[in-house]
Amino acid sequence: MEKITIDKIEVNMKIVEGKKEKAIATLTLGCFKIKGFRILESKEINTVAGDYLWIAPPAYLAGKGWHSIFFCEDKKIWKIIEKAVFKKYKSELLKREIPTIE
């Protein structure tokens, strides 16, 4: 199987006022657009974000739980995606002057 490389990631984001959900993101990876990434509060610190947040990939609710529809096998690429999403999230917070979670 041929691997896909990511030269540029474009992140569009909507900040939400949810209890645990903080934002919803759409990623554009080359010719692919993936909607539905969610930034959520976490009980543990995320070393990439530097705070208590994590990224949930797009998923649907069926049966007894949520089922992811996006999975990245390459951990290096997933870290690149995480960094891009958290960078955009923090920049959007600064624009809106919403305090970050400490």
pLDDT level of residue 46 (50, 70, 90 thresholds): confident
User: For 23-37, how does the pLDDT look when each residue is reduced to its tens digit (9 = 90+)?
Assistant: 999 999 888 899 999
Please name each of the domains of the chain with its CATH number. Answer: 9-96 (3.30.1120.40)
Query: 56 exposed, middle or buried (CB, 10 Å; 0-12, 13-18, 19+)?
Result: middle
User: Can you give the pTM of this predicted structure?
Assistant: 0.81
User: For 15-24, how does the pLDDT look when each residue is reduced to its tens digit (9 = 90+)?
Assistant: 997 788 999 9
pLDDT level of residue 60 (50, 70, 90 thresholds): very high
Mean pLDDT, all residues of the chain: 86
**Max Cα distance, the chain (Å):** 45
